[in-house]
Chain A
């Protein structure tokens, strides 16, 4: 019985300490010291929140660089028992989870590659990201889109290419990760440079 009492008492005390005091203390510190990060690293234009610097968003227009394929979904507004495709749904993260020998995966990738050009295309532009919210593409993923953007915006390709190069982020701390471009940040710069 004394063992059971110890189990119950310590469970309750530790729930308060690690389940309430700890996360609330971190929340308090975050909100006071690091409010930008604590609230999702939001990007605003004027008063409007246009997104988070960390989370990708869907671009369909030819005038914008597109991010990686995303297979997130949402509840169908017409029928709550069904789901519909909703790329970059930041309230329901998911990847495709398709296996390497999946016929569906091979066909989808082939279609994505054909939409971009002839022959093999950059891996990041034909595969779905893990989260469906990947904010980045690789420099070659941006490279295959430059001609399309230049045409849609009536600008020389060299100008767009220079913009991409300026917005290519190096490896973190010079070593970690790989070269990458934040698509939302690049598109904001694109709007600013070529209205």
Chain B
């Protein structure tokens, strides 16, 4: 217990220590003061040939176009991998629906795994397909956050910046150097990196064991850093080659959250008011600590049904690895669902009901507990707008944020995004049940079956990518519907927040007066956290009651299914 809390505390400390300077550095990158790769940057931007400042519509159009081209490229690679080199296992091309799902999944930074890495994908698909989009989808999300910060801070401006330049800078100065450093560290700590597909071993008892290998370290580095999460192997970071020890595990967990956390500080610097960034950091931090506490308690307490044959001192170890133990599995589960990363080092399907529910709630809140690279911050800003609106209603004043009046257009757009998770999770989930596709895909009977469905659709809509993996998602129906959920969960937030930024950019900030409601103090932080929790609870409490809560009650009553 003490050692567990020590490890969690150490993680929080390391995360904070790394995120503060990174936040400063990222602000420098996006304001153009970091130039050590200027020749490469000039070459890329010259080839692109687009340097003009863009208004919010042009910025959004460029992003959509870039993601569409990325989709076409990845979809083609996956469909045609059997005709291309670097396919040592001779895998076939993917089915159309699996290729569709995987391509959407990687351009939206979801990295949902309908595919089983070592049994479906060639090295070329893993490298040129998945690894590339791991960089570019993260860089796209970061560009959005930077454009939004510029819009919020601007004074009577029409432009938010240039998408191509922001995306290129994010990749060259942040993701690529970070991934190289991390990949080399991972390699030294034991992660394989080879172009051969496997090696044959003769075990101590004389049996044959085929060890799947590949260019693992390079992909895992960016999958963590870019809040991507799509694994090289089927079980993702629970695989000993994808996460060999508690040190790689610690570094992975840092990489998962460091950019999203740093973005709160970058934001403060970009808008010229560091207190605003710190307030967002604090609100997200409160939610993160609460999630950890709840999930840890659930897993440490274990499963009362198993107490007669599994020593409760060990906690719930089903679907967990000994080298991580309960606490590192819990920390990871919280970090990965908070950050919309979606990589796993334990099987979430086997978490206790309440533990699994915490992971679900993290995603259902809209991936704003630090969230994905860039998009976590912008998702939080949507809640900030709603909170100042609600606060304005309470005291009867026109709401303001950063001195700018929040008017009906901004509030409507922000309120519109509240529909994204209910549609993606509840409506699409209900369609799956009504058409019978849910029933044929769930693995477990009873309330846990509903939890599997809800988890999977929450993960896709939240662009998370982790799974209750007992659920068979690789069917034409679910591959397509989950693809829709991922698109909705990505662009259903990005486009409205860019529109809001475009509209705020044109306004003139007013000086703060005695009547201004400050958006950086404890009162605002409390209101923001409560707004997030109330919206989340109103939307999802009924379905959570039928899934994880009902399952928890059945455990207490000693019922199995």
Contact = CB atoms under 8 A, between A and B. Distances in A.
B235 A95 contact: yes
B66 A11 contact: yes
21 contacts: A3-B65, A7-B68, A7-B69, A11-B73, A14-B171, A38-B194, A39-B196, A41-B244, A42-B201, A51-B203, A61-B205, A64-B205, A101-B448, A103-B561, A123-B317, A132-B235, A134-B240, A171-B246, A172-B245, A175-B3, A177-B246
B265 interface: no
B240 A135 contact: yes
B368 to A, nearest CB: 27
Contacts of B448: 99-102
Nearest to A141: B322
B457 to A, nearest CB: 17
A195 to B, nearest CB: 13
B188 A15 contact: no
A52 B198 CA distance: 12
Contact of A106 (B131, B188, B321, B560): B560
A23 B183 CA distance: 9
Interface of B: 3, 6-7, 10, 44, 47-50, 58, 61-62, 65-66, 68-70, 73, 116, 118-119, 127-129, 131-132, 134-136, 164, 167-168, 171, 176, 179-180, 183-184, 187-196, 198-205, 207, 209-213, 215, 217-219, 222, 233-235, 238-241, 244-247, 249-250, 302-303, 305-325, 328, 344-347, 349-353, 356, 443-444, 446-448, 451-452, 468-470, 551, 554-555, 559-561
Interface in A71-122: 88-103, 105-106, 109-110, 112-114, 119-122
B347 A175 contact: no
- Determine chain A's interface SS by DSSP, over half rule: mixed
Given A120-B312, A175-B10, A130 B184 contact: no
A70 to B, nearest CB: 11
A98 B442 CA distance: 11
Nearest to B302: A123
Nearest to A171: B246
B319 A96 contact: yes
B187 A123 contact: no
A158 interface: no
A13 interface: yes
Contacts of B62: 3, 6-7
Given A14-B136, A18-B176, A38-B192, A138 B314 contact: yes
A185 B71 CA distance: 45
A126 B136 CA distance: 43
Interface string A1-26: 01111111111011101111011111
Interface residues of A, number: 104
B244 A54 contact: yes
A40 B211 contact: yes
A120 B305 CA distance: 12
B314 A49 contact: no
B303 A100 contact: yes
B7 A13 contact: no
A22 B220 CA distance: 13
A32 to B, nearest CB: 11
Nearest to A11: B69
Contacts of B311: 120-123, 140
Nearest to A44: B201
Given A30-B187, A93-B212, 7 more contacts: A23-B215, A26-B184, A97-B350, A101-B448, A101-B555, A129-B322, A138-B314
Given A13-B47, A37-B187, A106-B306, A136 B322 contact: yes
Contacts of B164: 6, 10
Given A7-B66, A19-B127, A30 B212 contact: no
Nearest to A4: B65
Contacts of A23: 127, 131, 215, 218-219
A134 B235 CA distance: 12
A170 B101 CA distance: 43
Contact of A97 (B132, B183, B187, B468): B468
Contacts of A105: 318, 350
Nearest to A107: B560
B61 A101 contact: no
Contacts of B129: 19
A125 to B, nearest CB: 9
A175 B184 CA distance: 23
